[in-house]
Structure 1
Amino acid sequence: MKTRFLNACLVITLLLISSITSFAQLTYCNPMDIGYRYNFEQMNEKISYRSGADPVIVNHKGEYYLFVTISGGYWHSKDLSNWKFITPDKWPFEDMCAPAALSVNDTLFLFQSTFEQRPILYSVEPEKGKLQFYNRWLPRLPKDIGPWDPAIFHDDDTDRWFMYWGSSNVYPIFGAELDHKRRLTYAGPYQSMFWLDPWKHGWERFGPNHADLMKPFVEGAWMTKHNKKYYLQYGAPGTEYNVYATGTYVGKDPLGPWEYAPYNPISYKPGGFMNGAGHGNTFQDIYGNYWNTGTPWIGVNWGMERRLAMFPAGFDQDDQMYANTRFGDFPHYLPTKKWQSKDELFTGWMLLSYQKPVTASSTKDTLRASLVTDENPRTFWVAQHNQPGEWLTADLQHESEVKAVQVNYTDYENNVYNSDSTVYTQFKILHSKDGKRWEVVTDLSSEPRRDRACAYVAFSKPVRTRYIRYEHIYTAGPHLAISDVRIFGNTPGKVPNTPTRLKVVRQKDQRNADIRWEKVPGAVGYNIRWGIAPDKLYQTYQVWSDQPSYLELRALNVDVNYFFAIEAFNETGVSTLSTILSIK
């Protein structure tokens, strides 16, 4: 009897440990939690900031490699969550912008953006940082042509190689075949693939919410082959705004001719905390799931100050390409198998901290604590001193099940230009039910030192509590500045009612539509969803409940019919979807 009892206890203990471990390890949250590197390009102007942009994630022999603009190296991961920075043995003195990366058999290829002659590198041991020259000196192209923002593509079915590139509001996306027998030099003349057409494609217009008349930029080419079709992807209209997005043209040959996809953009995230989803790549994980990466915009210290994101993506039954940005900056599960539904990785953990009251240990000038719950990465709190013990306390105003916290730092008047061993992040997260007695939930000082500008911490188990406290230990630089402390979990209660009286009126300019709806009590926000069929509502524009119940959407394509719906969300969950409207 005693033996059976001990065995039963052991089984229960192991199950609990397994449950806690999986709860802690199986989620991620955008912006991606990597060690964003300090940029050196504006050091003479004394402008310091961390940044990451133009990501390419490559699945190489069942492990992942991440390449990012101006990073002095790359990252390696076995699970898409824990990323180790690798300093390679060869790297350009000027660093790499928007590099091309490709895995073929046992070899990883790498090529930087350039308007000059530069080499193609390769590695059969990228995990060790060992790079070698594959083509020592790729021929020069005509002035201003590039190849900037390159992508290299290998067609497995035909064993042909290609390069695509372009980053300009003057030139198109270019393409050329490469000669593998001559170490991937150009096999023939480069060709124009396509140009932007903002007069027909509303989302290609420049500026915030596509409202600037400046000529837009096309950039960031990437090629994906699916079901014998070629999807040549591109970023537009510009990286420094909330509407940076990815679109695609589709063809039957790697060099065209190309047909514009009427459902564009395929990856678009203009609302919510993290804005922008353009210029990344599409890859498959070890289970065969598709992902699309992108470049969200920060723009506090410099227009090109940015972060990274990755979204579940795929192709539907009609071969329509999509990326799922719905709740794209809320926690998601990391896959453990081939997913069946585009939404199944969403954890259902809701934002608990929006506009909740916050107190602080100290405040510098008018950079007040309440700004850390406004879901705006361009506003921030600054403490009087960057020293251990400074704190922020958020009052959730009722008890909730808290499951994760994301701390987003700002480089306020910083003086760091090199991500060396002095650059790392340490803090504690504590909780309290009464605001008086505190318990530590997580302590980063007990973990290996690394920098975490967007530190995402999933708790080992849910904590039922009312108050969450950030307690500072260390960040590099003279100031402690935090843009947002984002708290996720669920509050007991009912999901909001389904919004009613949704009205969508397309303007005379078909690229635009006026959207109105009736607010519902208790909602934290709304998702406007649309697409080219009732079962293809792949696009999402998130609007907060304290904003007007009106949106001018300026991202539509001329002569394309659309379908619209709306859903509400609160701290408990998400409402059912409203009636779907057909708009011509």
Structure 2
Amino acid sequence: MDRVAHHLHAGCAAAALSPRRTGPARPARRLSRSPGARDRADLRSGGCGGAGHPRRPRMPDPADHARGRRALSDRLHRRGGRRARRHPELRLRPRRARRHPARAGRRRRALHGARHRDQDPMKTYCNPLPLPDYPRGMSTYGKEQDTSWWRRSGRRDFRETADPSVLYHDGAWYLYPSCGIAYVSTDFATWTHHPIEPRNPGYAPTIAKHRGAFLLTACNSPLWRAPHPLGPFERLGGFRKPDGSRLEGWLDPMIFPDEDGRLYLYWGISAPGIFGAELDPEDPTQLITEPKILFSHDPAHPWERSGDWNEDWDMNFNEGAWMFKRGGVYYLTYAGPGTQWTTYCMAAYVSDGPLGPFLPQRKNPFLATRHGLVNAPGHGCVVEGPGGSLWAFYTCLVNVNHMFERRIGMDPVWIDQDGDLASHGASELPGLLPGANAEPWKGNHAGLLPVTINRNCRASSEAPGRDAFYALDNSMRTWWQPAEGDPEPCLEINLQRNFSVSCARIIWTDEGLDYDRGVLPGPVRYVLEAALAEGGPWTPLCDRSASQQDMLIDYVEFAPATARRLRLRILGWPAGLRPALVSLTVFGISTAHPAMRREAQTGPST
């Protein structure tokens, strides 16, 4: 067994039991710029603000799951919905005999360890997703929008992508986000960009497979059809109501093909609510039922109230409807209360029919995270992946230049013992890839922790107000920016202890971006290095010095290395831009961990 798999397995259980911090992060300590004080500061221990993980929920029992679905059917019937259909999968299954707790614990630990041992080499993913060629922000075209949407003076250009719609087809993810489509991943870790036409059909694209073809639309966009997920697409036209008149205002649309061959359309933002209608399967532009409001804003639901504390009872943006079906139950997910708030989340209504009647599931929202680097997981989709696993792809927040400045993440979800959608929230640590974990409710964390957050650091230079420690404060809204004229900016981090490190997430921002003037994004070239003592010798961990790929967010894995100091050297960046580092997070495990001590004594296990 290789070293990284060994220390990931050993650290996973301890990391999963760490409580999640939900309070505000402690302010980072700013180092004195005088050399003497800097050296003394390097000897002091720094705080580590890495987030932990919530308590694992009870593992669902299949009989509980069936009873939950039966309870849903009965509840819909009691509340006056049309008679619940009888489904074979709702029949109760005999409860399995309870295992002895100690034996059950040993069995779970054995399975948990085997999951890591089977991965050679260990492969992980990390949010926000590292998509190449991040697209131009929609609001930068013409800059004619309401000035209240812009966060900084001057309406500065920015990049964004959000509102992901994902298709799992022939063993690959096909990702269609706002502002530029499409992306493909065959290993579920790395993504390639495949520009197609229509390149940018509008906000909130949606893709669906129907009768061997692929249907694509977006906010107020025509419907398109293609023989392959990447095209070529032919234009079919706009949607029409049953009387032949044009359907107006299909915002945040979603096309859902049911198992019986029937086809449905869902759409809507804010008032009056989320709509649904059936489409003609022969002519998908034609509605064959009148638009029906499936549910509306309910201020009794705290997660639907606007504001970072859900304080506004009057304002709401329920949006981003997404339908999927599991075990005869229809789950209509949606996002609220607004994409600019850290309270942005995903919740669900359930029904025994595609057009209702719908009731909110008992445990809402099913995906919500207010704090940390990856927060506000809203407007997205729930799709089936490898091995029948369920994955949520979602929007997450930046909100620095514009309130629509956003990124994309993904995490496993599941149906719990009560028949409700559930998750561990948005993750910001390395996780196990789709297909690698058959029991995500036990936790999907790969066992690696951040070793760089709020550590002592020093930089070759700093622009006014853009100090070096901003690269280590675990925030998407701050950044380190070197001073003008620094030919090779460098950031050095003192970990104060030895850590075995094996992957890193590097997030940049485009300071000076101006599309109209020809100042365009491009590759940032860098080298990440490690050393055991001040002054080196330095060993390269990741060499991107010759990179030709534009990666606004980069996530890299490398051979495990013991490090006490880390150094990032920035070697090149696009002309006209200023290098700006939002976050450098290196992940690993302490060499003082018992598993690492055993390895030092006995050698790596095989």
TM over 0.5: yes
* In structure 2, C-alpha distance between the alignment counterparts of 1:420 and 1:413, rounded to whole Å: 7
* In structure 2, C-alpha distance between the alignment counterparts of 1:31 and 1:422, rounded to whole Å: 19
* In structure 2, C-alpha distance between the alignment counterparts of 1:378 and 1:287, rounded to whole Å: 37
The answer to which structure has the higher strand fraction is 1
Amino acid at match of 1:469: R
Q: Does 1:102 align with 2:199?
A: no
Amino acid at match of 1:325: G
SS at 1:317 equivalent: coil
Q: TM-score, normalised by structure 2?
A: 0.72
Can you list the C-alpha shifts for 1:303-331, whole angstroms capped at 9, x where unaligned?
110000101111123322112226x1100
SS at 2:397 equivalent: coil
Q: Indicate how the Cα distance of structure 1 residues 252 and 40 shifts in structure 2: closer, same or farther if over 3 A, else same.
A: closer
CA contact (8 A) 1:239 1:304 kept: yes
Residue 362 (structure 1) aligned to one of 461, 467, 477: 461
Q: Indicate how the Cα distance of structure 1 residues 105 and 138 shifts in structure 2: closer, same or farther if over 3 A, else same.
A: closer
Q: Indicate how the Cα distance of structure 1 residues 494 and 21 shifts in structure 2: closer, same or farther if over 3 A, else same.
A: closer
Give RMSD over aligned pairs.
2.9
Amino acid at match of 1:159: G
* In structure 2, C-alpha distance between the alignment counterparts of 1:251 and 1:96, rounded to whole Å: 30
Structure 2 partner of 1:434: 533
Q: Does 1:74 align with 2:182?
A: yes
* In structure 2, C-alpha distance between the alignment counterparts of 1:65 and 1:361, rounded to whole Å: 41
Structure 2 partner of 1:580: none
The answer to which structure has the higher helix fraction is 2
Q: Indicate how the Cα distance of structure 1 residues 473 and 424 shifts in structure 2: closer, same or farther if over 3 A, else same.
A: same
CA contact (8 A) 1:209 1:243 kept: yes
Residue 59 (structure 1) aligned to one of 164, 168, 172: 168
Structure 1 partner of 2:335: 235
Q: Does 1:41 align with 2:150?
A: no
Structure 2 partner of 1:557: none
Can you list the C-alpha shifts for 1:423-472, whole angstroms capped at 9, x where unaligned?
2232211111112121111112345x22212211122x211111111111
Structure 1 partner of 2:293: 192
Q: Indicate how the Cα distance of structure 1 residues 386 and 43 shifts in structure 2: closer, same or farther if over 3 A, else same.
A: farther
SS at 1:441 equivalent: strand
Instruction: Spell out the pairing of 1:103-252 with structure 2 (5 A cutoff).
Output: 103-104=209-210, 106-114=212-220, 118-127=221-230, 129-133=231-235, 135-139=236-240, 146-156=249-259, 158-168=260-270, 170-198=271-299, 200-252=300-352
Q: Does 1:409 align with 2:517?
A: no
Q: Indicate how the Cα distance of structure 1 residues 214 and 419 shifts in structure 2: closer, same or farther if over 3 A, else same.
A: farther
Structure 1 partner of 2:110: none
User: Higher RCO, 1 or 2 (CA under 8 Å, sep at least 6)?
Assistant: 2
CA contact (8 A) 1:203 1:210 kept: yes
Amino acid at match of 1:431: A
Q: Indicate how the Cα distance of structure 1 residues 163 and 422 shifts in structure 2: closer, same or farther if over 3 A, else same.
A: same
CA contact (8 A) 2:238 2:285 kept: no
Instruction: Spell out the pairing of 1:526-541 with structure 2 (5 A cutoff).
Output: none
Amino acid at match of 2:281: H
Offset at residue 21 of structure 1 (A): 13
Q: Indicate how the Cα distance of structure 1 residues 112 and 332 shifts in structure 2: closer, same or farther if over 3 A, else same.
A: same
Can you list the C-alpha shifts for 1:56-107, whole angstroms capped at 9, x where unaligned?
1111232211011112x21112122221111214446xx4210111124642
Residue 562 (structure 2) aligned to one of 461, 464, 470: 464
SS at 1:287 equivalent: helix
* In structure 2, C-alpha distance between the alignment counterparts of 1:337 and 1:351, rounded to whole Å: 22
Q: Indicate how the Cα distance of structure 1 residues 231 and 386 shifts in structure 2: closer, same or farther if over 3 A, else same.
A: farther
Q: Indicate how the Cα distance of structure 1 residues 171 and 343 shifts in structure 2: closer, same or farther if over 3 A, else same.
A: same
CA contact (8 A) 2:502 2:561 kept: yes
Q: Does 1:330 align with 2:330?
A: no
Amino acid at match of 2:128: P
Can you list the C-alpha shifts for 1:107-158, whole angstroms capped at 9, x where unaligned?
22111111xxx4211222334x42223x2332379999521000000111x2
* In structure 2, C-alpha distance between the alignment counterparts of 1:189 and 1:336, rounded to whole Å: 40
Offset at residue 336 of structure 1 (A): 3.6
Amino acid at match of 1:42: T
Offset at residue 420 of structure 1 (A): 10
Q: Does 1:373 align with 2:475?
A: no
Q: Indicate how the Cα distance of structure 1 residues 151 and 143 shifts in structure 2: closer, same or farther if over 3 A, else same.
A: same
Q: Indicate how the Cα distance of structure 1 residues 22 and 450 shifts in structure 2: closer, same or farther if over 3 A, else same.
A: farther
* In structure 2, C-alpha distance between the alignment counterparts of 1:394 and 1:75, rounded to whole Å: 34
Q: Indicate how the Cα distance of structure 1 residues 379 and 21 shifts in structure 2: closer, same or farther if over 3 A, else same.
A: farther
Structure 1's unaligned 5+ residue stretches are 1-10, 496-584
* In structure 1, C-alpha distance between the alignment counterparts of 2:249 and 2:472, rounded to whole Å: 43
CA contact (8 A) 2:343 2:368 kept: yes
* In structure 1, C-alpha distance between the alignment counterparts of 2:450 and 2:323, rounded to whole Å: 35
Structure 2's unaligned 5+ residue stretches are 7-115, 144-154, 595-606
Can you list the C-alpha shifts for 1:238-260, whole angstroms capped at 9, x where unaligned?
00111110000000110000111
Offset at residue 40 of structure 1 (A): 4.8
Structure 1 partner of 2:571: 473
Q: TM-score, normalised by structure 1?
A: 0.75
Amino acid at match of 1:101: I
**Identity within the alignment, %:** 27
SS at 2:545 equivalent: helix
The alignment covers a number of residue pairs equal to: 468
Amino acid at match of 2:474: E
Structure 2 partner of 1:304: 404
* In structure 1, C-alpha distance between the alignment counterparts of 2:568 and 2:246, rounded to whole Å: 52
CA contact (8 A) 1:386 1:479 kept: no
Q: Indicate how the Cα distance of structure 1 residues 420 and 197 shifts in structure 2: closer, same or farther if over 3 A, else same.
A: same
Q: Indicate how the Cα distance of structure 1 residues 453 and 253 shifts in structure 2: closer, same or farther if over 3 A, else same.
A: same
CA contact (8 A) 1:386 1:478 kept: no
Can you list the C-alpha shifts for 1:525-559, whole angstroms capped at 9, x where unaligned?
xxxxxxxxxxxxxxxxxxxxxxxxxxxxxxxxxxx
